[in-house]
Structure 1
Amino acid sequence: MLTSEQIRAARALLRWEQKDLASASGVSLPTVKRLETKPGPLNAHGLTLQALHRAFETAGIQFIPESGDGGLGVRLRGRD
């Protein structure tokens, strides 16, 4: 599950604008903008969610699942 908050946080870590995410994922810019406006879990087709997730992971983002220690999050993988 991805949330709009995670998407915005991941973009911030990468210093990406919405157009950068659209380009990296193959998801249209209007769709990226729409998905980021609604708080909470993203309401999109499975292929769209996979494309966003894959683009972020390729760029070095790790998605942190919700746990007893805290909520959902993102982090930038360490550089090797």
Structure 2
Amino acid sequence: MITGAQIRGARAMIGMSIEDLAAHAGLSVETVTALENGEWAGETRAMIDVRNTLEAYGIIFIASGNQDEGGPGIRLRTRTSSDDGIRPENLNAANDD
């Protein structure tokens, strides 16, 4: 199961608004807000939709480890040279969409 903090962190990491996540996951903004606030427990259909959406954008959810390894987290999937997109060093105001 993923946490509300992981969802918020994942959105921030990829620059996705709560409205965009809701639209891409086919959910209401209120439902995503409730998930982020921990108001729903368990692996609900909405949680699965949010997880699948964020994973499609390159997020990897990391389960909680023991206390030496830290708690649940997120990271970005490694990009390959065949991925489309702009390399970070080439980002500028002219290609900001």
Percent identity among equivalent residues? 37
* Higher-helix-fraction structure: 1
| Structure 1 residue matching 2:2: 3-state secondary structure | coil
Q: Which residue of 1 aligns with 2:48?
A: 50
TM-score by length of 2: 0.72
Q: Deviations over 1:29-71 (max 9, x none)?
A: 11112222348xx436621111011001111000001112110
How many correspondences in the alignment? Answer: 78
Unmatched 5+ stretches in structure 1: none
User: Superposition RMSD on alpha carbons, in Å?
Assistant: 1.7
Q: Which residue of 1 aligns with 2:15?
A: 15
Unmatched 5+ stretches in structure 2: 81-97
Task: Write the distance in 1 (CA, Å) between the matches of 2:23 and 2:42.
Answer: 17
Q: Which residue of 2 aligns with 1:77?
A: 77
Task: Write the distance in 2 (CA, Å) between the matches of 1:19 and 1:35.
Answer: 13
Is the aligned partner of 1:66 residue 2:64? yes
The structure having more radius of gyration, on CA atoms, is 2
Greater relative contact order (CA < 8 Å, ≥ 6 in sequence): 1
Large movers: runs of 4+ above 6 Å: none
